[in-house]
A and B are shown apart, each in its own frame.
Chain A
């Protein structure tokens, strides 16, 4: 018995070690490949340079950072209110059976491959944006491939994350809080906005951070619908290129310096994600004690 337990213990240790080793190796690999490019260009010039033209040997990724930020922030602006409204509707308005149906429909969204989202965006959203943009400024010749298209599709893609985690944390708010609020003469709206949502805030916040992580990292869908023009976007109808999209598109033909620069973009992405996770954990630690 004793030896068998030892063997199993060793086996599952190896399983755990593999995942940690994978993270470590990927990190080392990205940094080893990408650092020379950053050193050659200079960190500040690399991050704040506005000209991304690898054929001319110019590697400034500010347009790519701005593109990623623009679609991500846009996705959050659309996705947070929609997701929260949806979560409140599911947990506070519908009965259990109806909510179950809605929830499985929303969770199904998470299972759709991202290339399908991209194709849907290309076939449906982009033409709609083209039509609208041409009403506003007929001379600009907008294609519809834009920051807005990326933001809309990403907003849909992060909905399952925001909704399901938020619903769980709203459902976990004790019924005694609601009773106390009703007993003081508050109505349902006041009870939800002033008691239930604040009590569920740490879960809601983590759902938003996870959604944001997904939006920044998403590659295929935004690649298809944002136009991939490496300029700092100047409006919601203008095209943009994201960091992930640029890596995916250019890696197949990039050589030498160019390839190293793409890995350097990977470093920047990696650092952004680490900062995001760290911030999320810090905020959750601060609020966590008081949350439901």
Chain B
């Protein structure tokens, strides 16, 4: 499906014949998709189409849902993440996730950011300080927060909290960032800031973002995948999807005829 990708080295994820069942419900059907490295891939489709479920299979957060059964192959850097040998905590260090609602821990800004690095064994105070400064600068939050690093993260605005969550995710130096509708709980100004941030992050990180907002997919992504009722109907460059999609259903959805 993706013609511009030449070698597997350019791929972060390679997914073949992915099926997911919740009990009797067949939530994902025969998904084949390649996620190119250091690009932004947007997942679009109406509610309940399986796009968030798909996203959560990529860092095995789906494991925490009772009764979910995954079949098929998800290769991350060439290794099957559903094999027995895969270390889930190591996978999640490399594949970070940002959630729909900002979910900072009820701790200080500083403690939120050093939580991940500490879990992965970094204890040196100076290195932790550096991580805090670097990540806050990466999400353009440093100037607003440098004087109140040791106050509660819950005292920040929703948009600031979401940027803090992105910074927290960057603090463990992931290769991939998964985002599950990261702006749906935010106002337009905060949304614009996050989108600008996404633009800065692409190129350095592989980003997979689920979004309900068609314009957002068009603005931020290089590649777009359209899901409908658990099937992946089309995946193409974003430019092509929004100008001349191959699938008639894609065109109908994008032009707002359903969804």
Chain A hits for B152, CB < 8 A: 289-290
- B5 at the A/B interface (Cβ < 8 Å)? no
B172: chain A residues within 8 A (beta carbon): 184-185
Cβ-defined contact, B89 with A179, below 8 A: no
| Cβ contact within 8 Å between A183 and B169 | yes
Question: In the complex, how many angstroms separate the beta carbon of B131 from the nearest chain A beta carbon?
Answer: 13
When A and B form their complex, what is the total count of cross-chain residue pairs whose Cβ atoms lie within 8 Å? 69
Q: Is the CB of A190 within 8 A of B119?
A: yes
B115 touches A194 (CB 8 A): yes
A176–B101 touching, CB < 8 Å: yes
CB contacts (< 8 Å) of B104 on chain A: these are 180
Q: Do most interface residues of chain A lie in helix, strand or loop, or is the interface mixed?
A: helix
Per the CB 8 Å criterion, the residue count for chain A at the interface is: 21
Q: Is A198 an interface residue (CB 8 A)?
A: yes
Q: Which residues of A contact B101 (CB under 8 A)?
A: 176
In the complex where A186-B119, A290-B152 touch, is A180 in contact with B106 (Cβ < 8 A)? no
Q: How many B residues touch A, CB cutoff 8 Å?
A: 27
Cβ–Cβ < 8 Å partners of B14 in chain A: none
As a 0/1 sequence over residues 104 to 130 of chain B, the CB contacts with chain A under 8 angstroms (1 = contact) are 111100000001100110000000000
In-complex Cβ contact of A182 among B61, B106, B107, B165 (8 A): B61
> How far does the alpha carbon of A19 sit from the alpha carbon of B189 in the complex, in Å?
54
Cα–Cα, bound, A176→B91 (Å) = 19
> Is B212 in contact with chain A by the CB < 8 A criterion?
no
For B168, the closest partner residue in chain A by CB is A184
A131-168 vs B, Cβ < 8 Å mask (1 yes, 0 no): 00000000000000000000000000000000000000
> 14 extra interchain contacts, Cβ-Cβ under 8 A, other than A177-B103, A185-B120, A195-B115?
A176-B99, A179-B61, A179-B97, A180-B168, A183-B92, A183-B169, A184-B115, A184-B119, A184-B172, A185-B92, A185-B119, A186-B89, A186-B119, A290-B154
- 11 intermolecular pairs with C-beta atoms under 8 Å apart: A179-B97, A180-B165, A182-B92, A184-B96, A185-B89, A185-B92, A194-B119, A195-B115, A198-B106, A198-B107, A291-B106
